[in-house]
Amino acid sequence: MKVIYLLLIFGFISCETIDPGDVIDIWYNYEYTLTQDLKSYDYSFYPFRIPVNYEGWMDFEIKIPKTEYQAFTIYVHDWIGMPNIKNIIDSHGSSKKVIGSGNYEEGKYWVYSYAFQAGAGATYFSIEMQVPNRLGISYMVVRVNLSKYHYSNIKDLTFNTDYPIDTSIFTANDKKIPPGYQIYIRIGVFDNDEMEIQLTTHAAYDKHTAFKVDVCQYVDKPTQQQVYYGNNAAKTMTSLENTSEEDEKYYYPFTTDAGIRYLSICITNNLDNLDYLFIYIYSATGMAVALIVTIVVVAVALVAGIIYFILKKLGLVK
């Protein structure tokens, strides 16, 4: 269930803090925090470098506090081979200027978004960010976001819970999940548990080819890199079989091994366009635990009610 089929795999972690001053290697759907000595220095030029593994549209995004408005200028340059900092600076005059495609709210932050597309045949591209007044920003995060185009941010879900996919984010594809889109999920589980990934659509599709479902099992909570690449999994299960015979229903059963506490799941849309997808991850152990908890809560409430009734009859409570 690897997203990137390249020999070069970066060991970055989410929200990695970057020290400005040199070319900054970044990766897709990871956040990089540019907060080093913000109050003391005025870094106005940031060169980023990323290998090409996807030639479609993507967004370079900058997240800053809502109270700290800023204007950014973004340039993109395609490369055959890995550019160094001198290459990037020397080519600045020939880089393509990218026009912002809008901004949106994310909690207490504004996210400024710049859409672009890697050139055909390129193996790397560089992103140059110019900030006129760096001192006015106390917090800034950058990321190359493919979540609207190619694969999702990691969704931390719980079992036995409804989860509809928000298709409104796919504005470039008529608000439909595009072909080849990959949905990534991380979830805590019980070991030796009978589980099932249940998918529901609004139309009937081929039972065997509509979706590709891969599952990796982990003893400890997997990092973002592990979820995206399937690294160091205790067990990997690819292309699970659909067992549902119902139209618009797709069920992928499996069992967790002893000692397993977490799963990463990748669901790939193999359809041309998909206007609706509903995900439900079933856990037999989780259902049994929930039933026991419900019985205990009801029993406690019943006993408490009886005691209250008796005490009221005896005049001990009003």
pTM of the predicted model over 0.85: no
Question: Is residue 316 pLDDT above 70, yes or no?
Answer: no
Write the pLDDT tens digit of every residue in 86-142: 898 888 878 888 988 788 888 899 999 999 987 788 999 999 988 876 556 788 899
Same domain membership, residue 126 and residue 163: no
What is the DSSP pairing of strand 96-98 with strand 73-79?
A: antiparallel
What pLDDT does 233 receive?
A: 95
Domain count, the chain: 2
Establish if 297 belongs to a structural domain: no
Same domain membership, residue 128 and residue 104: yes
Same domain membership, residue 137 and residue 55: yes
Computed over every residue of the chain, the mean pLDDT equals 84
Establish if 308 belongs to a structural domain: no
Q: Which of 100, 119, 145 is the last residue of a domain?
A: 145
- CATH number for the domain that contains residue 104: 2.60.120
Establish if 291 belongs to a structural domain: no
> What's the DSSP call for residue 94?
G
Cα 183 to Cα 266: distance, rounded to the nearest angstrom = 6
Same domain membership, residue 77 and residue 97: yes
Establish if 316 belongs to a structural domain: no
Write the pLDDT tens digit of every residue in 28-64: 988 888 865 444 445 578 899 999 988 888 999 999 9
Same domain membership, residue 229 and residue 165: yes
Q: Which of 84, 111, 145 is the last residue of a domain?
A: 145
CB 162 within 8 A of CB 278: yes
Range(s) of the domain holding residue 105: 16-145
- CATH number for the domain that contains residue 209: 2.60.120.380
**Residue 277: φ, ψ to 5°:** -150, 125
- 3-state SS, residue 4: coil
Same domain membership, residue 201 and residue 132: no
CB 233 within 8 A of CB 226: yes
CB 220 within 8 A of CB 189: no
Establish if 168 belongs to a structural domain: yes
CB 50 within 8 A of CB 264: no
Going by pLDDT thresholds of 50, 70 and 90, the confidence category of residue 294 is low
**Residue 152's closest CA among 167, 140, 162?**
167
* Paired residues of 32 in beta bridges: 16, 142
2: alpha, beta or left? (left if phi > 0; alpha if psi -120 to 50): beta
Establish if 150 belongs to a structural domain: no
Cα 88 to Cα 74: distance, rounded to the nearest angstrom = 13
Q: Which of 117, 145, 173 is the last residue of a domain?
A: 145
